[in-house]
């Protein structure tokens, strides 16, 4: 299946470069570009993209404000932030506003394509250089100790390892030979037990603790 991509970024050169990059791929189809958050919201409603590539530091609406507005208007698109900022605050605000990934603009074009292809499959995509700082920032105000692991069932611990690999519910279900619905229940339970807000927090924490 082809993933339809909308790009929201206030730098024309970057938008054009990413558009041309994606046009070379059979499974990623750029369907629109917006220069600010307001235009992005309008295009998201009109085009209903599968994936939105979103800049953070834009004039007018910021990326986080745009992301919150996208979720408020009911967009279920996978949203991947693409930015120059490695700020802990920007990372946590983006993920808690509903981002499915956070990538830095200094990555190689081929790596960006690979990460977007993973995101399109439902995987969590985070730049490798951000893992440690992200784990620290996400859990700073919601401490999670390794003792909480004792409350997890064997299956939940197994699923936590798969989350650490960035796998989607569908992929986890296939790998474990269970239904996607059952996987969702297990994920929900382990998030509650470990005091995580989202699967992204769980995945990052698990990576930091060596669950692979």
| Cβ atoms of residues 79 and 67 within 8 Å | yes
List pLDDT tens digits, range 3-41. Answer: 999 999 999 999 999 999 999 999 999 999 999 999 999
Confidence tier at 93 by pLDDT (50, 70, 90): confident
pLDDT of residue 46: 96
Please, are residues 150 and 140 in contact by the beta-carbon 8 Å criterion?
A: no
- Residue boundaries of the structural domains of the chain: 3-136, 144-208
Residue-wise pLDDT for 154-201, tens only, equals 999 999 999 888 788 888 999 999 999 999 999 999 988 988 777 777
Question: Is the pTM value of this prediction over 0.85?
Answer: no
Confidence at 81, pLDDT banded by 50, 70, 90: very high
How does pLDDT run across 98-147, given as a tens digit for each residue? 888 899 999 999 999 999 999 998 887 888 777 666 666 665 655 555 66
The CA R_g of the chain, rounded to the nearest whole Å, is 17
Which architecture does CATH list for 3-136?
A: 3-Layer(aba) Sandwich (3.40)
**Fold for domain 144-208?**
Arc Repressor Mutant, subunit A (1.10.10)
Contact between 6 and 52 under an 8 Å Cβ cutoff? The reply is yes
Tell me which residue has tokens 């981002």.
99
CB 90 within 8 A of CB 68: no
């Amino acid at each position: 299946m082809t993933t339809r991509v909308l790009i929201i970024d206030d730098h024309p050169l970057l938008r054009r470069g990413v558009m041309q990059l994606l046009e070379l791929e059979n499974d990623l189809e750029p369907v629109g570009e917006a220069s600010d958050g307001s235009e992005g919201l309008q295009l998201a409603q009109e085009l209903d993209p599968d994936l939105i590539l979103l800049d953070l530091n834009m004039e007018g609406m910021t990326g986080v404000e745009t992301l919150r507005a996208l979720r408020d208007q009911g967009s279920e698109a996978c949203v991947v932030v693409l930015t120059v900022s490695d700020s802990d605050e920007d990372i946590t605000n983006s993920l808690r506003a509903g981002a499915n990934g956070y990538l830095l603009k200094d990555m190689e074009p081929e790596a960006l394509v690979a990460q977007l292809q993973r995101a399109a499959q439902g995987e969590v995509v985070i730049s490798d250089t951000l893992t440690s700082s992200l784990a620290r920032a996400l859990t700073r105000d919601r401490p999670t100790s390794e003792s909480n692991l004792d409350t997890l069932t064997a299956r939940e611990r197994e699923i936590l390892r798969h989350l650490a690999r960035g796998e989607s519910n569908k992929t986890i279900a296939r790998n474990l030979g269970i239904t996607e619905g059952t996987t969702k229940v297990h994920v929900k339970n382990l998030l509650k037990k470990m005091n995580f807000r989202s699967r992204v927090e769980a995945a990052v924490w698990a990576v930091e603790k060596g669950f692979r």
